[in-house]
């Protein structure tokens, strides 16, 4: 499988679930289902052996990942769908020995269940890690946006400008900003990318306004699994 095909299997499957939320007519799960998802992630975060060694944990509204030394705040009341999204990716990868090992969703958090129908933009945080070996010749994080832009365009997302360097504290990442008309509103997406420990780690934040996206981005920090203030 080529590097381009790998990104279509993994990143596309993640992005498609988010963008399909408005078209879905499934009934939204209850709050107890949300709590169950949070509990499952905390208990099962380290159960996958074919993916990054530390899938992280969620506690007190903060996702912590010791392997990649970062934390990410999750807004109050948001629901987690990390396990479900990984299960969908595993299902789509059946029959291909390489696809299932290409990547893993570390965190999938939404302002409402992604299958719930609504007119407004579903705020989202998606963090994923893929083996850098899947991208021969990849030397810096900005190069990763090549295949990502193709996938984004297929879903109607337009990139505002070229990828640029973005600092989160003392950590430098590559960042790309996208937007898409969604009914009477504009969906905005910012994706930050870094190379670490043999993986491409991407942080995608989605909101209805630039301020919403920036607020989510500000919840990301590096330097270890610190407790929330």
Q: pLDDT, tens digit, for every residue of 160-191? A: 999 999 999 999 999 999 998 877 788 899 99
Distances (CA, A) of 225 to 22, 63, 130: 34, 8, 21
> To 5 degrees, how large is the angle CA 19–CA 89–CA 11?
50
Pick the more confident residue, 93 or 128. Answer: 128
Has residue 20 got a pLDDT over 60?
Answer: no
pTM here is 0.77
Query: Residue 224: its pLDDT value, please?
Result: 58
Pick the more confident residue, 152 or 164. Answer: 164
Has residue 59 got a pLDDT over 80?
Answer: yes
Pick the more confident residue, 20 or 70. Answer: 70
Q: pLDDT, tens digit, for every residue of 138-147? A: 899 999 988 7
Q: pLDDT, tens digit, for every residue of 82-108? A: 988 888 666 655 555 544 446 889 999
For the chain, give the percent of residues with pLDDT over 70: 67
Pick the more confident residue, 112 or 69. Answer: 69
How high is the mean pLDDT of the chain? 76
Query: Residue 35: its pLDDT value, please?
Result: 39
Structural domains in the chain, CATH included, are 3-45+53-222 (3.40.1000.10)
Query: Residue 52: its pLDDT value, please?
Result: 66
For the chain, give the percent of residues with pLDDT over 90: 42
């Amino acid at each position: 499988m080529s590097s381009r095909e790998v990104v279509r299997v993994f990143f596309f499957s993640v992005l498609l679930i988010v963008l399909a939320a408005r078209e879905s007519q499934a009934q939204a799960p209850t709050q107890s289902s949300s709590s169950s998802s949070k509990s499952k992630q905390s208990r099962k975060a380290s159960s996958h052996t074919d993916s990054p060694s530390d899938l992280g944990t969620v506690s007190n509204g903060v996702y912590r990942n010791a392997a990649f030394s970062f934390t990410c705040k999750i807004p109050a009341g948001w629901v987690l769908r990390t396990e479900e999204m990984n299960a969908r990716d595993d299902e789509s990868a059946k029959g291909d020995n390489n696809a299932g090992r290409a990547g893993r969703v570390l965190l999938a958090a939404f302002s409402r269940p992604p299958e719930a129908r609504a007119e407004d933009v579903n705020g989202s945080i998606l963090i994923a890690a893929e083996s850098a070996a899947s991208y021969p010749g990849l030397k810096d994080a900005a190069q990763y946006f090549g295949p990502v832009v193709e996938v984004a365009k297929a879903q109607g997302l337009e990139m505002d400008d070229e990828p640029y360097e973005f600092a989160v504290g003392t950590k430098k990442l590559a960042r790309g900003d996208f937007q898409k008309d969604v009914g009477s509103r504009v969906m905005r997406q910012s994706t930050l990318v870094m190379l670490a420990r043999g993986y491409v780690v991407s942080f995608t934040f989605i909101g209805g306004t630039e301020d919403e996206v920036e607020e989510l981005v500000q919840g990301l920090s590096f330097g270890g699994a610190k407790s929330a203030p």
